[in-house]
Chains A and B, each alone.
Chain A
Amino acid sequence: MKESFNLRNVEFKNRILVASGTFGYGDEVPDLVDIAKLGGIVTKSLSMKPRDGNPSPRITETSSGMLNSIGLANIGVHKFINEKLPTLKKSNSTIIANIAASSVEEYCSVLELLDGQEGVHGFEINVSCPNVKEGGLSFGTDVKLVSLITKELRKRTQKPLIIKLTPNVTHISDFARACETEGADAVSVINTVIGMSVNINTRKPKIATTTGGLSGPAIKPIALAKVYETCNAIKIPVIGIGGITSWEDAVEFFIVGASMVQIGTANFINPATGISVVEGVKQYCEKNGFDDVEQIIKSLQTDKTISIVDSWL
């Protein structure tokens, strides 16, 4: 049974990765998870300088999900290279560095610093960051900026370049097309969904930033629909993210069209979720007579007589 996947000459052992911001820098859980068994690790978003992040409270549980406003707290790219990468290199896993920045120039500089590092196998670009020049509006909600970022980064690396899209837009497929046009190797779909929660006794928001990013099982149907929309718009691979807690969830994303998946919030509950998903997907394929996971990808059986345009809710 073939589990591996190739993206721009980088071989991923399998198609199950752990999502940015939910697994630290891969070095927090050596006792709990054999990270070499995962398809890969996406690091916490890295910026040029270390970032403190937002005030507390930063998280709260919601119905089947959680809200966070971590504010991209991270150790900065230099410390990552000096203190984290040497251990990660020895771990025999595929490392995708996730980059966050507040200007196009910062994205480029961080990527350039990491591109020369042999332990970094590819890049995922978090465009859900406030653009300082434009008064803090997220890069990820402006097609022109997403195009520009992709174009500039493509010039600077031959390693896999993945753009991570936000669902907080009207048509995510417009953004996916822009990434494809500018030479991205894949897109990740989705980052967190904007959400809010209020304590009715104090009448205060439950997280300090008032609104935050919703993740976990609550967003899985949203994520599936966004992956579906994206897969129908572009030819480059789509990496499905959102609410995956089991192998069944992962298979659902594959059927809809995702070439790989990432596991986020579920790591907080069970850090070894990824390993059990790898096992489960393998068994599902074997049981159903597939000799390559590729065979289930985009295998959705739809009733062709009902088009999206006609299906009013």
Chain B
Amino acid sequence: MKQEIVQIHSLEYLTNEILELTFISDYLSSVAKPGQFINIRVGDNFPLLRRPFSIFNVEGNKISIVFNVIGTGTKVLARKRKGDTLDVLGPCGNSFLLFIDDSFDTAFFVGGGIGVAPFPFLTKHFPSHKKIVTYLGGRHKKLIVTKGLKNIKISTDDGSDGFQGTVLDLIKKDFQENDYGKIRFFICGPTRMMKAVANYANTINADCYASLECDMACGIGLCQGCNIEVIGGERKYKLVCKEGTIFETKTVWL
């Protein structure tokens, strides 16, 4: 893990609402693993704390993240320009790669909204003999990012793209219509959606691994601010930033 000042290579709109920011880092591009995040100091003094972002893609020495403008930090980030510098710290957290083994045939990637972020990088590094199905859910079309993904199935709340309904309804329908063999879920998105998908995974006897999100002050295990309650075990809580962000959903209270 390192703290670096990097240069922004580009900032582009992927949809009307979602931006992709690319910067150059020899270090991060060589060590980062799918599912890990980087902690970005978006402004000098404002906002005060860093903001964590999943690694969306790595290409050569370029790293990119995606975000939509929802608050103070992303507003500042959206105003950056090519050539500006950025203070980044990472890579942080564990990787989805830890949870890939021989005990499943098909991976269901489930991304809710901006929760799609870790999946393109994961797609790139996923064992080629395994099948991937990518389910994307969003409120509407402008929140759906498909770049770098494989075998995509889309759901939107308003039906502006793909299936109309929740991503879980889409998964259920698809699961009934097809034979995917032994399935493992890899999910990221709003907690409510992850909870629903994790419950469903349980009912069909599939393992489910979720990348959790919570407010973080440090992202590296210093503050103890990012606790998640674990089910069973000696300790009541684990740290999302250091012991996650990816957990088997059966082991934590979502």
Kindly report which residue of chain A lies nearest to residue B227, judged by CB atoms. Answer: A56
Asked if B229 and A56 sit within 8 Å, CB to CB, the answer is: yes
Report the stretch among A18-26, A91-99, A142-150, A249-257 that lies at the interface. A18-26
List 28 A-B pairs, Cβ < 8 Å.
A22-B223, A23-B222, A24-B222, A28-B220, A29-B220, A32-B2, A32-B89, A32-B220, A50-B235, A56-B229, A56-B237, A57-B214, A57-B215, A58-B224, A58-B225, A59-B223, A60-B215, A61-B217, A64-B48, A68-B217, A68-B223, A70-B225, A73-B227, A217-B48, A269-B48, A269-B49, A270-B3, A271-B222
Q: Is B33 an interface residue (CB 8 A)?
A: no
What is the interface size of chain B, counting residues whose CB is below 8 A from a CB of the partner?
30
The answer to whether A268 touches B2 (Cβ under 8 A) is no
Is residue A66 contacting chain B, with contact meaning CB distance below 8 A? yes
Please name all residues of chain B whose beta carbon is closer than 8 Å to the beta carbon of A267 when the two chains form the complex: 218, 222
Determine if B214 and A271 form an interchain contact, defined as CB atoms under 8 angstroms apart.
no
Q: Tell me the dominant secondary structure on chain B's binding face.
A: loop
> In the complex, are the beta carbons of A73 and B237 less than 8 A apart?
yes
CB of B47 within 8 Å of the partner chain: yes
Cα(A267)–Cα(B41), bound, Å: 13
Known contacts A32-B3, A52-B237; decide if A61 and B227 are in contact (CB<8 Å): no
Q: Which residues of A contact B237 (CB under 8 A)?
A: 52-53, 56, 73
Residues of B within 8 A of A70 (CB): 223-225
Contacts of B3 in A (CB 8 A): 32, 270-272
A23 CB to nearest B CB, Å: 6
Most buried by B among A52, A61, A68, A216: A61
Look across to chain B and name the residue whose beta carbon is closest to the beta carbon of A24.
B222
Query: Which chain B residues have a beta carbon within 8 Å of chain A's beta carbons?
Result: 1-3, 41, 45-50, 87, 89, 214-218, 220-229, 235-237
When the two chains form their complex, are residues B214 and A56 in contact, meaning their CB atoms are under 8 A apart?
yes
From known contacts A23-B222, A61-B49, A70-B224, infer whether A52 and B2 are also in contact, taking CB-CB under 8 Å.
no
Distance in Å from the Cβ of B74 to the closest Cβ of chain A?
Answer: 13
The interface bits of chain A over 266-283 (1 if a CB of B lies within 8 angstroms of the residue's CB, else 0) are 011111100000000000
Indicate if A134 sits at the interface (CB-CB under 8 A): no
Asked if A61 contacts B215 (CB within 8 A), the reply is yes
Q: Provided the pairs A52-B235, A57-B215 are in contact, do residues A28 and B221 lie with their beta carbons within 8 angstroms?
A: yes
Q: What residue of chain B has the Cβ atom nearest to residue A66's Cβ?
A: B217
Residues of B within 8 A of A60 (CB): 215
Report B48 CB to chain A, min CB distance, Å. 6
Give 5 new A-B contacts, CB below 8 A, not counting A28-B221, A31-B1: A21-B224, A31-B2, A56-B214, A59-B217, A268-B223
- List chain B residues, Cβ under 8 A from A23: 222
Flag if B229 contacts A55 (CB, 8 Å): yes
Cβ contact of A268, chosen from B49, B214, B228, cutoff 8 A: B49
